[in-house]
Chain A
Amino acid sequence: DGGITQSPKYLFRKEGQNVTLSCEQNLNHDAMYWYRQDPGQGLRLIYYSQIVNDFQKGDIAEGYSVSREKKESFPLTVTSAQKNPTAFYLCASSIDTLGNTIYFGEGSWLTVV
């Protein structure tokens, strides 16, 4: 089945540790995105990538990093510089960034203690 796979679903980390969330898609989409979701806040864009080896900061990129070495993969690293990392993280993809529908993965819960 085609889709977007995020792993792990649940992740616990100690404060001060970096953590990487995986996102893989087999939809042959050029564009990929990372969103953060907090209760009552909607979704906020962290980073997006329009094509391999290219990515841009979104609205809340501070404390996060990404890479796009392969078309299928767009991992997100939550660094120790992110002040409030506990959240639900959603990966998404679309054919391009020209208004086409964005499709979402199932999300990853990150809890930092």
Chain B
Amino acid sequence: AQSVTQLGSHVSVSEGALVLLRCNYSSSVPPYLFWYVQYPNQGLQLLLKYTSAATLVKGINGFEAEFKKSETSFHLTKPSAHMSDAAEYFCAVSEAGAGSYQLTFGKGTKLSVIP
């Protein structure tokens, strides 16, 4: 069974500082991996997706994530935080099972950006 662990339910960074949100997964087969962002009282918006084409995936709003199979990690980074990045971020893994892919989410990391 697949699972996702996001280290740190809350992360605070200063505006302009590096953003690093950690995600580790467990999967018995090569998975699809996703990062979503959620602003208050809204749905989830896709930031980026890993599909095995390249280990470094670039997404929207300057975010990127690197797939490291040996570490079973898919950490999300952004070189310079902006106030508008304050939101909750979810890592998710999709793995084939019983004829369909099921998406499993981590519990989320809330990012605060300090001016």
List chain A positions with a Cβ less than 8 A from chain B.
Answer: 4, 6, 40-45, 50, 90, 92, 97-99, 101-107, 109
Contacts and interface: CB of A to CB of B under 8 A. Distances in A.
Interface of B: 9, 32, 34, 36, 41-46, 49, 51, 90, 94, 96, 100-103, 105-108
A34 to B, nearest CB: 12
Contacts, number: 49
Nearest to A102: B103
B43 A97 contact: no
Contacts of B49: 101
A89 to B, nearest CB: 10
Contacts of B103: 45, 102
B34 A101 contact: yes
A33 B29 CA distance: 23
Nearest to B108: A42
B100 A107 contact: no
Nearest to A38: B107
Contacts of B107: 40-42
Contacts of B94: 99
Nearest to B102: A45
Given A42-B108, A99-B96, A104 B44 contact: yes
Given A43-B90, A101-B34, 15 more contacts: A6-B43, A40-B107, A42-B105, A42-B107, A43-B44, A43-B105, A90-B43, A97-B101, A97-B102, A98-B101, A99-B96, A99-B101, A101-B46, A107-B42, A107-B43
A105 B42 CA distance: 8
Contact of A50 (B43, B100, B105): B100
A4 B45 CA distance: 12
Most-contacted residue by chain B among A97, A103, A105, A109 (CB, 10 A): A97
Contacts of A102: 103
B51 A99 contact: yes
